[in-house]
Chain A
Amino acid sequence: MATPTTYVPGKRSGSPLKMITDPFEKFFSAIYNGIINVVDWIMHPLQDRVGVRGMAYIFVLPNLLIFGIFILLPMLLNFYYAFTGSTELFPQNRPFVGMENLNTLFTCQNFLDPNSCREDLFWRAVFNTLGYVALQVGTMVVLALITALALNAQIVARGFFRSVFFYPVLLSPVVVAVIWRWILQQDGLLNGIIVSLGGERVSFLTNAGWAQTWVIVISVWAQMGFFTLILLAGLQAIPGEFYEAAQIDGASRWQSFWQVTLPLLMPTMVVVLVLALIRAVQVFDQVFPFTGGGPGTATQYLVQYIYQTGFSNQTKEYGLAAAASLVMAMFLLVLTAIQLRMGRRNEAA
């Protein structure tokens, strides 16, 4: 029978200390002890001053600072800029104009016709973004689910296929864009193959429909692995007993999928759906080097509109860009609220 160990505060439990004989180990041990002593020298008086509870705040302070400087402050600045005018960069030189920028964005005779809007490019970007979000997210979630189901099954070289599907996620969006541009341009690889087979060149990047399609195809290809991985984890968390019970009850594979897999996977699906939606609304980094927003404005999405209005146009309208950012933030807030609501409903179920 083993002797129970009792914890005595201030005393080390377990095996006696090992004698350090290796010179390297001694060296690193000395460095380690030195660091600990320095940290202790700083922290001890600090703890005496702020108390044990206060130390918690000290430990989260670095993260809070980073959040404050790089996220909260820019957000507040963006909010301020949205209500100021002029082309001046620095906030102190910008006059307050109230709702003028938002008014400019929302001055429309018919909201469904961008040509009737004062800021037609904003509304083109809004409609392009909505179309992209609906098609890209819908396609990607369905394909990610099918892929996850396939990779969850007992197939040959399952590990290899899992890597293959995840690999595009590791690529930089710019690299993905440049490679696909080479493939799809007028004298690109794909047209080369088509011509060598006796076909006519296809305007993949200069025809609005084709360009919008390829933007979605490429983003699905590049991002699907990430969502497949999340769904795969969700699938593996479903206990095998449920399938055995369904099988005993005479359920077909199709019925098992609808009655067992999908309901139990729903919480994961909600996470995937909301993450994919948020990511899709923010689309920019891959599309900008791929099509530049063209042809015309066919693939110009909201973030590109904001970037061009604020930074790359000859006349830099920071206020208008900030107002457009606010509109986008509101849209993302609504999406997040829906996620929270659906999450809670799932928990309750």
Chain B
Amino acid sequence: MKRFAILFVLALVLMGAFAVQAQDAVELRITWYDDGSEGVVLRDLLDRFEAENSDIRVVVDTVAYNTVLEQLPLQVEAGEGPDMARVTNFDAFKGFYLDMRPLVADAAYWEASFAPAVLAALRTGEEDADAIYGFPNQFTVTGPYINRTLFEQAGIEVPSDSSDAVTWAEWTEAARAVAEATETQYAIAIDRSGHRFAGPAFSEGATFFNEDGSITIDTPGFRSFAETLVGWHTDAITPAEVWIGSGGSYAAAADFFINGQLVMYMSGSWQIGRFSNDIGDTFDWQAVPNPTGEGGSTGMPGGTMMVAFGDTEHPAEVARVMDYLASVDALKEFSERTLFIPAHLGLGELDFQTDVAAAQNALLTFAAEVPKLSEQAYELQFGGQAFAINNPIRDRLTQVLTGELSLDDAIARIQQDVDDALAAAAAG
């Protein structure tokens, strides 16, 4: 009994000690979403950080990607946001970021390590031209994947094997023929996203940005790829659930590709890690160059940013965490383990941790796509107007697919939506 009492008192003392220690540590929160298993890598990195910095504890709140798009901006605006977040919709948080320039250990390192245009994408304008609000922890390029096994089973040559300039029309016909020959459910698909649509549209010759700074949606190139998309749906060679059956949200067609129900899938480099894990060597999958058209062969650049928010109660601690996550060692490990293309300019040679040959090849393919990205594509992604353009394209084109609008009406509505959104943003 006496021994039990001593043990009980000891346990209480230990619990008290831990409680005191836990109280001493500053708790920071990161809102995060996963494309694959990158959350695990982040947690590993943070665990090591916490081991060396016992005064900081970082909690990672993993949410759905749509939550980052739709709910996080509202939380941040209401002053209820996290300390840091992984975001892709940089414009939505402008004015709410934490300027870490005076807080980080070496601001020059940040400026030298990341592309100026990318750091500038978080800034509002002249008044915060040198602010450091975050860093890109992943660079992405959009581009297509094919199920090479299906091509082989169908006995049809992969068009990009013999040509550097395959058009969308040629790819569509090839994928359709493969699907028919192999009785695969769908031939071709593209994620339900204005960002994903924009790359092929630019390749077809679309231009959004005029020299006078205005935006015009209605171009032959835009119409060309919009008609291609409509044709896929009319011919029922694409899964209708992705664009038609997803309401007003972003939707990926990745599951159809992973399950072998799809011959060709237009998505982006961020899928490599997931495909490595989920497909592995079940079938031969391959990233292929972006199709070519009148506007060249371009995908869309993109990526995710780790950003800090100005409402944090612990700016100094946030800057220490960000300094750590933006360091060469942390970003190198993050990229090598997640199979993400790094956005850090000085990581040197990377040793991507995968045994899957398709993943290695896909990384090389997407790396080769970077120099081909068009100016219009960069302008759309980092010019501060993507918030007004991408979603109207996605939602209005869906109305064309369901027969609610004609393509002419849809283009007129997109233009109106874009103009309204930009006017509202300008009015504040």
Contacts and interface: CB of A to CB of B under 8 A. Distances in A.
Contacts of B249: 292
A308 to B, nearest CB: 6
B252 interface: no
A206 interface: yes
A295 B402 CA distance: 7
Contacts of B398: 294-296
A300 B398 CA distance: 13
Interface in B385-428: 387-388, 390-391, 398-399, 401-405, 409, 413, 420-421, 424-425, 427-428
A291 B244 contact: no
B78 A315 contact: no
Given A314-B387, A317-B424, A293 B247 contact: yes
Interface string A271-297: 000000000000000001001111111
B240 interface: yes
Contact of A87 (B239, B399, B403, B425): B425
A296 B244 contact: yes
Nearest to B422: A315
Interface in A238-252: none
A311 to B, nearest CB: 6
A317 B417 CA distance: 12
Given A87-B425, A296-B402, A297-B404, A311 B74 contact: yes
B402 A293 contact: no
Given A313-B391, A314-B391, A314-B421, A296 B401 contact: yes
Contacts of A295: 240, 244-245, 398, 401-402
Interface residues of A, number: 32
Given A115-B405, A315-B388, A315-B425, A294 B74 contact: no
Contacts of B248: 292-294, 300, 308, 312
A311 B249 CA distance: 13
B241 interface: yes
Contacts of A297: 399, 402, 404
Most buried by B among A89, A185, A294, A313: A294
A329 B302 CA distance: 42
A86 interface: yes
B164 interface: no
A297 B397 CA distance: 12
B31 interface: no
B353 interface: no
B247 A291 contact: yes
Interface in B62-79: 69-71, 73-74, 77-78
A264 B399 CA distance: 48
B346 to A, nearest CB: 33
A72 B91 CA distance: 34
A168 B69 CA distance: 33
B124 interface: no
B387 to A, nearest CB: 4
B245 A315 contact: no
Contacts of B402: 208, 294-298
B70 A311 contact: yes
Interface string A203-242: 1011010000000000000000000000000000000000
Nearest to B406: A115
B92 interface: yes
Contacts of A300: 247-248
B246 interface: yes
Contact of A315 (B241, B401, B404, B424): B424
B388 A203 contact: no
A316 interface: yes
Contacts of A339: none
A76 B305 CA distance: 39
Given A312-B70, A314-B421, A206 B427 contact: no
A292 B70 contact: no
B240 A89 contact: no
Interface string B238-273: 011100111111000000000000000000000000
A185 to B, nearest CB: 7
Contacts of B74: 89, 311, 316
Contact of B245 (A205, A313, A316): A205
Contacts of B239: 186
A312 B239 CA distance: 25
Given A205-B245, A292-B246, A312-B248, A87 B92 contact: no
18 contacts: A85-B427, A86-B424, A186-B241, A205-B241, A205-B245, A208-B403, A291-B247, A292-B249, A295-B244, A296-B244, A296-B399, A297-B404, A308-B248, A311-B70, A311-B71, A312-B70, A314-B388, A317-B424
Given A87-B427, A312-B69, A314-B421, 8 more contacts: A115-B409, A124-B404, A205-B245, A206-B244, A291-B247, A292-B247, A295-B245, A297-B404
Interface of A: 85-89, 115, 120, 124, 185-186, 203, 205-206, 208, 288, 291-298, 300, 308, 311-317
